[in-house]
Amino acid sequence: MAEARGTQTHDLEVIAGAFMAETICLTAAARMLTAFPNTRVRLVSANWTEVPAAILEREAPIGVMDLRGFVADPALMVEKLRPQPALFVARAGHPLAERSSVSLADIMSYPLAFIGRAPREVQAPHIAAREEARRLGQPHPAFPALVHESPTVTLKLLPQCDAVAGVSVTMAIEALRHGDIVALPWQRAPWASIHPGIITLRNRALGAAEQAYLELIREADQRAEEEALAWCKAQGVPSGCG
């Protein structure tokens, strides 16, 4: 078994919330394969709420997660990254996509694909819109209609049905360019965003591979922001994140 595993001399463990794991963390991991060929990267995608405990329990030296509402343990160091604007998307030809504008209550009248747990800043507007949809007599019975921790999987679901999903522009941009999905004509609010950050243990020294990976995350984060802001500008979509 040891021979089959290869001759790597170091394991790099990273745990990240799914939106970060499947975007900037994956980009950084891809570059690590060339920069550190003797390092095996283990990138674990999890719900963002699971990341701090994994770092505190030394399951991984690096964590990346949405920082909104997060109160850091004194043993943790936190580095904020750039906020990522998010939007609601659906299949091309979706009934909502044919309108000139839609409200959040309109969106809540269709099946929503969502992660298991979201920051309170994101939950509250969804719940209020759900109540408005109920008052109008048009809520979809199940809320959310689909729970899955991977936004990549959710994007693959959308072309097959009338479900809608809220995802970061960074996550959706390739599918939007290919026409697999479309952005719904909703007046984007600043709360529709992700606020990623890196968390590490104060008393845990990081090696060369870990330090290099952190720098690659920062670079990927900057490129992702530039690309997302350019897309928002081209589409006339507000890009502010609150």
Task: Express each pLDDT in 32-55 by its tens digit.
Answer: 999 999 999 999 999 999 999 999
Under 8 Å between Cβ of 232 and 170: no
> How far is it, in rounded angstroms, from Cα 146 to Cα 141?
12
* pLDDT given for residue 7 in this prediction: 61
What was the pLDDT predicted at 138?
A: 82
Is residue 179 within 8 Å of 92, Cβ to Cβ? yes
Q: What distance separates the 2 farthest-apart alpha carbons in the chain? A: 64
Nearest to 11 by CA among 38, 29, 31, 32: 38
Could you tell me whether strands 164-168 and 112-114 are parallel, antiparallel, or unpaired per DSSP bridges?
A: parallel
In contact, 104 and 129? CB cutoff 8 Å: yes
Q: What is the pLDDT of residue 178?
A: 94
Mean pLDDT, all residues of the chain: 93
The reported pLDDT for the residue numbered 146 is: 95
Q: In which residue ranges of the chain is pLDDT below 50?
A: 1
- What pLDDT does 149 receive? 92
Closest CA relative to residue 42, chosen from 23, 56, 61 = 61
* Gap between the Cα atoms of 19 and 64, Å rounded: 10
pLDDT of amino acid 8: 55
Predicted local confidence at residue 45, as pLDDT: 96
> In the chain, what are the domains?
2-83+195-235 (3.40.190.10), 85-183 (3.40.190.10)
CB-based contacts of 43, cutoff 8 Å, min separation 6: 14, 16, 21, 25, 26, 29
